[in-house]
Structures are given as C-alpha cells and as structure tokens.
Copies of this chain bind each other. A is one copy, B any other.
C-alpha cells in the first residue's frame, strides 16, 4: 500500500484530476484502512480530520477514483459496496463467518488461468480479466 503523500498527489494529477484535500484524504483513507472499507468506514475515518466533508462528496470522489482506475470496487454476496486500493491483479478470500475480505495474490494461479483461457476460447466473448473468489472460513473466525 502506498502511503506517501507526494505519490498520492501524483496519482491524482497523472489521472487528470485536480488535487483537492478531500480526494487526498479519501485516497489515503483507503490505503490506510485495512480490509476493504465501505463508504461508511471511509466517511467515519475521514471525519476525524475533515469534519465537514459531505457524504455526497465521498461517494462522488469514490466514483471518480474508480473511473480513473485508482481504486477498485469489491462486492460480496450480501454486503454493500467496498473499496480496494490495491490495483495489482489479485483475488479475494471471503470469510463465510464474518465480513472479512482478504486480498489474495497468487501469480502461479494467474499464470494457470491465463494459459487456460488463452487456449480455451469463449465464443462471442472478449476476455478482459479474471478474478477468483475463494470462499471459506479463517481459523480465527
């Protein structure tokens, strides 16, 4: 996770976005908050330092960041929307017991899937990305 302020600024301006305190705060909140925060989590966290930020602003900024590929959306079967600051290709471990979603990076798996779908053509479908949802339970839960 990227925690450097200048680099956060850079990400915004490189994406053609104006650098505003709200956007900085929201982006950094996503990097800091573990486990794929909800909009609500983000709002709560940010209000500590930016008490006046409007919820509408947070939702709008989140949309903008997703649009510019600075963050990703994650959704569970049951849950509300959550956000993920890791942009490298990765998968997720979902806990059936609690609401934990853990990032799961596995290059070997990526390679296997890539090879499999390179050979196996899906007729009428242009493949862009593959995300694996691994469901189960963490021992700690």
Q: B128 touching A137 by the CB < 8 A rule?
A: yes
Q: B135 touching A96 by the CB < 8 A rule?
A: no
Chain copies in complex: 2
Instruction: Give bound CA distance, A75 to B78, whole Å.
Output: 8
The residues in A between 92 and 141 inclusive whose CB is less than 8 angstroms from any CB of B are 93, 96, 104, 106, 108-109, 112-113, 116-117, 120, 122, 124-140
- Chain B residue at minimum C-beta to C-beta distance from A128: B136
Q: Which residues of B contact A132 (CB under 8 A)?
A: 113, 130-133
Q: B129 touching A136 by the CB < 8 A rule?
A: yes
| A15 in contact (CB, < 8 A) | no
- Chain B residue at minimum C-beta to C-beta distance from A134: B130
Q: Mark A36-50, 1 if CB is under 8 A from B, else 0.
A: 000000000000000
Q: Which residues of B contact A137 (CB under 8 A)?
A: 125-126, 128
Partner pick for A116 among B73, B96, B109, CB 8 A cutoff: B109
Interchain residue pairs with CB less than 8 A apart (17): A74-B77, A75-B76, A93-B122, A93-B125, A108-B120, A109-B116, A112-B112, A124-B139, A125-B138, A126-B136, A126-B137, A127-B136, A128-B136, A130-B132, A130-B133, A130-B135, A131-B133
